[in-house]
Amino acid sequence: MENNSSMRKWLDDFKLSHPLVIAGPCSAETEEQVMKIAKELKDSDVSIFRAGIWKPRTRPGGFEGVGAIGLKWLQKAKAETGLLMAVEVANAAHVKLALEHDIDVLWIGARTTVNPFAVQEIADALQGTDKIVLVKNPVNPDLGLWIGGVERLYNAGIEKLGVIHRGFSTYEKTKYRNIPEWQIAIELQQRFPDLPLICDPSHITGNRNMIQEVSQQALDLNYDGLIIETHTDPDNAWSDAAQQVTPDALKQIFINLKVRKETDQGDDYNHRMAGLRINIDEYDARILEILGKRMKVSDQIGALKKERNVAVLQNKRWSEILEKMIAEGAAKGLSEDFILRIFKAIHQESIVHQERVINNNN
């Protein structure tokens, strides 16, 4: 998939003075609920109303959505508010029903993105339409799979495309429901700058009290929009109650958000930025020099282990290093999450070096 400025046209057509906002309940529950939320969002900064009709659940027995009847409620909400309507689709049957009910925006969920067969089925069903289609990142941090989902749709002739960053699942306990792994979305943005990028702070956080913080982080990273789950009675929502905000809370989030300029053309800004970037380049060069020296020591450790027939992995030593680095990193203002990512990568490279030395018969 090549960069194509036409992919941004659907977003530019909104002629917004603010980031695109998609909002609405995690799940459509009743006609009354859908209409009430849509009417409260009508006069806000929301451009697209979202509601889950089919809800993929991890285990059977949970609420799996109201199904096709909900599409009629969205049609009515669209007629009375003028908002565009968006739903999640997971197969060709969902696409067919959504098109029959003139849904404007279809998104592919994280559980579906992981399955190329399902994405291809959806792409084939959408061929020849001019609907806006958004692809959520897969559950696991796999950039190739995310790009592949977009490519399947693009190859089917669908140009009104965008992606939704909703975070990634992890077994580690963190403050997030799904860890952001911002660098993955940033890499996607760098590869395809014409592909609109939307942040889903509801699924990243799983906590309504963190929506503001993560939304601001996304805007600071030049995201094009936000998709935020909104419910008039979130505590009693039928799904994902903890991460939904009220329409009034959503409006306050809009007020508090700071939209940054992409750049500044002033001479003073450019001069100061150039100086700071020189400093960064110097520090980056030092980091690489130090890492190179560290790996030479790892080679020496590998040689000693080979001489004495000692296993490469030493879990006790690794745990001690990690504990020490987390503590020292905190003292320098570095987050535990950052230290873990950095030193896990360093440790893995060190193991590779040691194994190479041990397995070298020369």
Q: Which domain holds residue 116?
A: 5-256
If asked whether residues 103 and 247 sit together in one domain, one would say yes
pLDDT confidence of residue 89: 97
pLDDT confidence of residue 276: 92
If asked whether residues 207 and 103 sit together in one domain, one would say yes
| Domain final residue, candidates 256, 289, 322 | 256
- 2 pLDDT higher than 80: no
3-state SS, residue 25: coil
Residue 321 lies in a domain: yes
If pLDDT is split at 50, 70 and 90, which confidence band does 362 have? low
Q: How many residues does the chain have?
A: 362
C-alpha to C-alpha distance for 244 and 230, rounded to whole angstroms: 5
If asked whether residues 286 and 187 sit together in one domain, one would say no
If pLDDT is split at 50, 70 and 90, which confidence band does 198 have? very high
pLDDT digits (tens, 9 = 90+) for 224-275: 999 999 999 999 999 999 999 999 999 999 999 998 877 788 888 888 989 9
How far the first Cα of the chain sits from its last, in Å, is 45
3-state SS, residue 148: helix
Q: What's the rounded mean pLDDT across residues 207-213?
A: 97
If asked whether residues 251 and 277 sit together in one domain, one would say no
pLDDT digits (tens, 9 = 90+) for 152-161: 999 999 989 9
DSSP state of 85: E
Q: What's the rounded mean pLDDT across residues 309-327?
A: 92
- Give CA 241 to chain center in angstroms: 20
pLDDT confidence of residue 63: 85
* CATH code of residue 17: 3.20.20.70
Residues 6+ away with beta carbon under 8 Å from 98:
71, 87, 89, 106
C-alpha to C-alpha distance for 347 and 217, rounded to whole angstroms: 29
| Domain final residue, candidates 256, 280, 313 | 256
Residue 261 lies in a domain: no
Number of domains making up the chain: 2
Which of 26-30, 195-199, 355-359 has the lowest average pLDDT? 355-359
Nearest to 346 by CA among 320, 326, 316, 322: 322
Looking at the DSSP bridge assignments, the partners of residue 230 are: 245
Backbone angles phi, psi at 285, to 5 degrees: -65, -40
pLDDT digits (tens, 9 = 90+) for 7-31: 889 999 988 888 999 999 999 999 9
- 66 pLDDT higher than 80: yes
If asked whether residues 277 and 220 sit together in one domain, one would say no
3-state SS, residue 115: coil
